[in-house]
Amino acid sequence: MREGRVSFAAVAGWAGLAVILVAAFLSALGALNQTIYGATSFVERYLEAIADDDIATASTTPGVALDAEELAALGLHENVSTAMFRSGVLEAGPEDVRIVSDVANADGSHSVTASYRLDVAIVETTFDVRPIEPLYGVLNRWEFAVSPLAVIDVTAAHNPLFTVGSLTLDTRATKSGDELAAFTQMAPYLAIAPAVYEFGYTSTLLEAVPTALPVEPSARAAVTVDSVPTATFVERVQVKVDDYLQECTTQQVLQPAGCPFGIEIDDRVVSEPVWTMVSTPVVTLAPGETAFEMPPTEGVAHISVELQSLFDGEFYTLEEDRPFLLALTASIRPDGSIAIQLK
């Protein structure tokens, strides 16, 4: 009898311990699901990944990727560029992140509101997240109910290339036919958000003033990268203009062929005309519809020629300055050289 009572007591003790352990496990599991595996932590990890420039983690967070139907709803093609999904592209991520509230909804989803600084603004965003298949069947997992990805419509004015962060992109990448020749190109890009991006462009011939663009989650933003000729571009066009006009002066005729200056004389020409340049047009370039344009700009050529008057037969020397106007368009060929067309 005594042994039976001892065995029963031992079993009861072990059963009680098991209940305590199970209760402790469930309590720990509940704590994990409320903290590390909670909706708040899910949102915090996404924002921290952006702040750390860990774009691979941010872009693969559940609910971030857009499917074909979602892209179509945004008016985007399936091949819309995701080239900005890489580290070194964004200028800054969200800073001073703070969770303001976490509201549990009746359908099991959560509405998590986060406050953060984006550039110089303090922004509050509510992220709707919903549960997905638990990890190991017990630990909560979440996804964004609405993707936080942003769409940035980039207008690359006067140059198809632009830079964002350390990346150089070509707005013609998915285009063909006549679209490739457009002087101003436009293209949409998917971008991780929230973040600040800096757009610009710098090369030997073209430059665009950098533009900072703060982009909030699920937003559609627009930016124009306005490329204009550099001093080097203008100088190279000036050299071509000077060489062209100098070549014109080598033609010892009254009306140099293909040149913007000349003279008509009624008297008899008795020597070869000699042209020299008094002043060449100073090149300035501004964007036009299809190329950079120099408006009609004045230059002055000088002619020296011996003549004989048809009225009285007197010989004399004509020395005369001849003002003229020169206009042109300039564009950059694919090989980087400059093409000039006189107008």
Q: Which of 318, 311, 323, 314 is nearest to 265 (CA)?
A: 318
Q: How much is the average pLDDT of 176-200? A: 95
* Phi, then psi, of 270 in degrees rounded to 5: -115, 5
Q: Residue 32: which of 108, 134, 144, 145 has the closest Cα?
A: 134
pLDDT range class, residue 307, cuts 50, 70, 90: very high
Residue 118 tokens, joined: 């984006």
> Mean pLDDT for the chain?
91
Peptide bond preceding 194 in cis form (omega within 30 of 0) = yes
Average pLDDT over residues 231-256: 98
> CA angle, corner 128, sides to 124 and 132, nearest 5?
145
What is the mean pLDDT of the segment spanning 81-99?
A: 97
Q: Are strands 220-226 and 150-157 parallel, antiparallel or unpaired?
A: parallel
pTM over 0.75: yes
For 284-308, what is the mean pLDDT? 97
DSSP assignments along 255-270, one per residue: S-TT-S-----SSEE-
How does residue 199 score in pLDDT terms, banded at 50, 70 and 90? very high
Q: Exposed, middle or buried, 271 (CB in 10 Å: 0-12/13-18/19+)?
A: middle
| Contact by Cβ (8 Å): 182, 222 | no
Position 178 confidence tier, pLDDT thresholds 50, 70, 90: confident
Higher pLDDT, 7 or 61: 61
For 70-96, what is the mean pLDDT? Answer: 96
Nearest 10 degrees: CA dihedral of 39, 78, 219, 198?
110
Taking Cα atoms as reference points, which of 151, 150, 114 lies closest to residue 129?
114
Per-residue pLDDT tens digits for 246-272: 999 999 999 999 999 999 999 999 999
Nearest-CA neighbor of 81 among 175, 179, 214, 210?
A: 175
294: Cβ contacts below 8 Å, ≥ 6 apart: 237, 281, 283, 284, 285, 326, 327, 328, 329, 330
The rounded distance, in Å, linking the Cα atoms of 240 and 139 is 71
Structural domain boundaries in the chain: 35-229, 231-342
Range 22-47 average pLDDT: 68
The CA-based diameter of the chain, rounded to the nearest angstrom, is 160
Residue 31 pLDDT: 47
237 has which bridge partners? none
| Averaged pLDDT for residues 234-238 | 98
CB 258 within 8 A of CB 191: no
Instruction: Give kind and range of the element (H or E) at residue 237.
Output: helix 231-249
Residue 312 has pLDDT above 50, yes or no: yes
